[in-house]
Amino acid sequence: MKDLYESSYLYSANAPFVEARYADYLRDPGSVGEDWRDFFRQMQAPEAEPDHTMIREEFARLARQPRAPQLAAAGATPSASCVDAKQVAVLQLINAYRFRGHQNADLDPLHLREKILVPELHPAFHKLDDDDMDRVFNTGSLVGPERAPLRDILRSLRRIYCGHLGVEYMHITDTQEKRWLQQRLEGPEADPLLAENKQREIMERIVAASEFEKYLHTRYVGQKRFSLEGAECLIPLLHQLVQQAGEQGVSEVVLGMAHRGRLNVLTNILGKAPASLFEEFEGKSAGAAKNGSGDVKYHQGFSSDIRTSGGIVHFALLFNPSHLEIVDPVVGGSVRARQHRRKDTLGNSVLPVLIHGDAAFSGQGVVMENFNMSQARGFSIGGTVHIIINNQIGFTTSNPLDSRSTTYCTEVARMIQAPILHVNGDDPEAVARAIRIALDFRMVYHKDVVVDLVCYRRHGHSEADEPAATQPMMYKKIRHHARVGQLYADLLVDQGVMTEDDIDALTRHYRERLDAGETVAPCIATEAFDKPYWVDWRPYLDGRWDEDVDTRI
């Protein structure tokens, strides 16, 4: 059967042979055998059919030749690509700002280094010139009017991406997440004017942060406190974070942080009584005296209940295990346990927050390990809000070239495609906007997000050292740089939101409460209420290290 098939004209490999015989028959019927003549005579069309050999050879020759570009005939209409070359350039310019606008953002309060020159952010790079500035172009996916003059497009891009907030998000591959961030950055609600009561609230929190540090600086001279001065906006940031989390249904916030600003957070956010803190400074702490042991005051944990418009939020600051960033997985474990207890599989009820230093965030391997586990099925906690107190100095190293190999301290967060919001720490309203976007992203997508609070450190590492010895140029600038409280107060006075007398009254009232040892944090819930997940710690209080414990199973 195989032999019969392979000898048939239906066998594809025999087609060239049959075609060659047919071509011979067309040229000279006598050149083929009688059987072939009868076969071709029966299938021949009424009209004479041409020989296809020459046609096939011509196609084969053309296929071997390299293709030459076709020239448009004289007077022909230009192609659409030529007509829209400028339009394409405008869309490329818009995309360039989304990718690299953060590199030209005004982030550093001290302006220590010149901004990176990014050619792609200039119209000339895209062959757009002054003649194009008033020409109307399609804005593509840029949120806003569908068409606008190039001048207006450029002004909007610089305002959105090169102001006091610079955002890295184009490395994200999930289109939905990227579009969400674009809408929040570019849309009409992207930069809303804060209500006057919100502005006053921010001012109150900045006054609290600043006056607390000044009070300790004068009352406990030379003692370690790891001041927050230069990064005072952390306090209004955390206040807004807790209030916004409560509005979105969060019941617990678990915070992990190192030493920088910890005493300020304990007093002005969690409501630790200043009188208790002062006793620790003066060595009168009852626990240390009784047990003969204890941790330093800037590693102590604390928890409280905070009133929000969405209900009570339990806020827990975990004890710091001393080594930088080791608290990160401790927070993760605590949050996972709390979520398990609440049967919270999505992470809507318990929110993890980590506060890092810039040098530790880029230098400690546990940060990368934590990110690596953040979306693993057995370990996910629904995303963490990371806040970096980026005072641009790691102990004594202020030049990034001496401490890391990356432009930002946040590069490690790109490994999980986390959005990164860099914000100028001297602009409290930009800081408020950054944390609002960050928390909303976390609650919608349940993934990690990073807020890089670019600021400075007004004093030495622990107030006992002289930073000008190792950073003379940096601290020359800091000595002449106005505090954020003064900058924001001047702004509100200029806007007519507050008067200088109002701000003086805030300062005076806060210091009076410190003198009295009263709780100064706002919204602390002191009344008794039903807490279904409350843990009774009383059996573990005031114990001794050498106390006998029953370890039988």
Going along the chain from its start, the domains and CATH numbers come out as 85-162 (1.10.287.1150), 196-528 (3.40.50.970)
In the sheet with 350-357, reading across from the earlier edge strand, the strands are 165-168, 420-424, 449-454, 385-390, 350-357, 252-257, 311-317, 302-308
User: What does the pLDDT read at residue 142?
Assistant: 93
Per-residue pLDDT of the chain (553 residues; tens, 9 = 90+): 555 555 555 555 566 777 777 777 777 777 778 777 778 777 655 455 555 555 566 566 666 665 544 444 444 444 555 448 999 999 999 999 999 999 999 999 999 988 888 999 999 999 999 999 999 999 999 998 999 999 999 999 999 999 999 999 999 999 999 999 999 999 887 677 889 999 999 999 999 999 999 999 998 887 888 899 999 999 999 999 999 999 999 999 999 999 999 999 999 999 999 999 888 887 776 555 455 455 677 788 899 999 999 999 999 999 998 899 999 999 999 999 999 999 999 999 999 999 999 999 999 999 999 999 999 989 999 999 999 999 999 877 878 778 889 999 999 999 999 999 999 999 999 999 999 999 999 999 999 999 999 999 999 888 778 888 888 999 999 999 999 999 999 999 999 999 999 999 999 999 999 999 999 999 999 875 557 777 777 777 777 778 888 888 8
**Tokens read off for 71:** 């020239």
User: What does the pLDDT read at residue 466?
Assistant: 87
User: What does the pLDDT read at residue 294?
Assistant: 57
Cα separation, 19 vs 452, in Å, equals 75
User: What does the pLDDT read at residue 73?
Assistant: 46
Contact present, 354 and 331 (Cβ < 8 Å): yes
Q: HSE-up of 517 (CA within 13 Å, CB side)?
A: 6
Whether the pTM exceeds 0.85: the reply is no
In sequence order, the 6+-apart residues with CB closer than 8 A to the CB of 361 are: 325, 367, 386, 388, 409, 410, 412
